[in-house]
């Protein structure tokens, strides 16, 4: 009788432990709007504007990850309550995972631009001239139609292939940010920013070299001359402008919130 009683007691303890662990594993937190983020655990990619904005959420705990994919995985595993990230990458992640969704309400609106060293004002001016031409010609819109709008018949940019009388420019990027930059099935860095940068360099008579690195290393690479410019869905912010210059914006985007369904 004692053995039976002990077995029953052991079973009850095991069930209690399982229930406790399930509760600690993180029940779905109800987040229906940006206002519901107060006091929540927020996942962000380290060094991004999502990281900066999350710091201003009242009572929030900010968990930082090397890339957006790692932040989204933490969300799916219930290690964070939400992820703040740029709109288009968020929609790519949501399309790949049926247990997460993007809130309809944007967190904030922002502009993307290309960063250039403060010591290279001549390059910034030349890039701005090329950007203006590519906008006027409709080349930028075609690139956006292909990668973001997915307009039927839209195609990626085709480089002129030279000649390149002015040499080579090195672009620093973080190719973990689809559809702006990512490694395609052939291991080639593709997306909005590589295509647009290639079009800009073609206009200016430069060959383009793209170097993949951590997002946090991009500005430093440009400042130190390891790269000539950086393009990685980079938002123009007052803090960044203290250390780096930016071209004219080439696209308006938004930060959004990903939650579990």
User: pLDDT-derived band of residue 5, with 50, 70 and 90 as boundaries?
Assistant: very low
Look at residue 46 and tell me whether its pLDDT is greater than 50. yes
User: Looking at residue 235, what DSSP letter applies?
Assistant: B
Please report the pLDDT score of residue 150 as a whole number.
85
Q: Domain 114-234, CATH 3.30.43 — does that match?
A: no
pLDDT, tens digit (0-9, with 9 covering 90-100), for 198-257: 999 999 999 999 999 999 999 999 999 999 999 999 999 999 999 999 999 999 999 999
Domain 28-110 classification at class level:
alpha beta
More confident residue, 90 or 6: 90
Average pLDDT over residues 148-161: 92
pLDDT, tens digit (0-9, with 9 covering 90-100), for 54-89: 999 999 999 999 999 999 999 999 999 999 999 999
pLDDT, tens digit (0-9, with 9 covering 90-100), for 120-131: 999 999 999 999
Q: For residues 48 and 78, what is the distance between their CA atoms, to the nearest angstrom?
A: 22
User: Looking at residue 223, what DSSP letter applies?
Assistant: H
Q: For residues 125 and 247, what is the distance between their CA atoms, to the nearest angstrom?
A: 8
Please report the pLDDT score of residue 182 as a whole number.
97
User: pLDDT-derived band of residue 29, with 50, 70 and 90 as boundaries?
Assistant: confident
Please report the pLDDT score of residue 30 as a whole number.
87
Q: For residues 247 and 129, what is the distance between their CA atoms, to the nearest angstrom?
A: 10
Look at residue 22 and tell me whether its pLDDT is greater than 70. no
Which positions ≥6 away from 107 have C-beta within 8 Å?
Answer: 34, 50, 53, 84, 254, 255, 256, 257
Look at residue 25 and tell me whether its pLDDT is greater than 90. no
Nearest to 134 by CA among 201, 75, 72, 73: 201
Portions of the chain given CATH number 3.40.190.10: 28-110
pLDDT, tens digit (0-9, with 9 covering 90-100), for 168-208: 999 999 999 999 999 999 999 999 999 999 999 999 999 99
Look at residue 20 and tell me whether its pLDDT is greater than 50. no
């Amino acid at each position: 009788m004692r053995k039976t009683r002990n077995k029953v007691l052991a079973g009850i303890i095991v069930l209690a432990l399982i229930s406790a662990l399930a509760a600690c594993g993180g029940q779905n937190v109800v987040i229906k709007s940006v206002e519901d983020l107060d006091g929540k655990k927020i996942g962000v990619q380290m060094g991004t504007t999502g990281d900066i904005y999350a710091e201003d959420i009242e009572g929030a705990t900010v968990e930082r990850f090397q890339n957006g994919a790692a932040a989204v995985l933490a969300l799916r595993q219930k290690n964070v309550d939400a992820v703040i990230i740029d709109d288009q990458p968020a929609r790519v992640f949501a399309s790949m995972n049926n247990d997460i969704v993007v809130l309809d309400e944007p967190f904030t609106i922002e502009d993307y631009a290309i960063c250039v060293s403060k010591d290279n004002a001549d390059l910034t001016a030349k890039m701005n001239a090329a950007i203006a031409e590519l906008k006027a010609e409709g080349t930028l819109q075609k690139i956006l139609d292909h990668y973001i709008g997915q307009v039927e018949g839209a195609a990626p940019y085709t480089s002129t292939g030279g000649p390149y009388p002015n040499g080579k420019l090195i672009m620093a990027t973080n190719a973990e940010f689809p559809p702006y930059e990512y490694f395609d099935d052939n291991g080639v860095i593709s997306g909005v920013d590589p295509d647009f940068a290639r079009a800009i360099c073609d206009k200016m008579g430069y060959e383009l070299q793209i170097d993949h690195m951590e997002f946090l290393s991009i500005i430093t690479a440009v400042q130190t001359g390891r790269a000539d410019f950086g393009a990685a869905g980079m938002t123009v912010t007052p803090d960044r402008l203290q250390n780096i210059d930016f071209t004219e914006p080439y696209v308006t985007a938004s930060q959004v919130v990903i939650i579990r369904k």
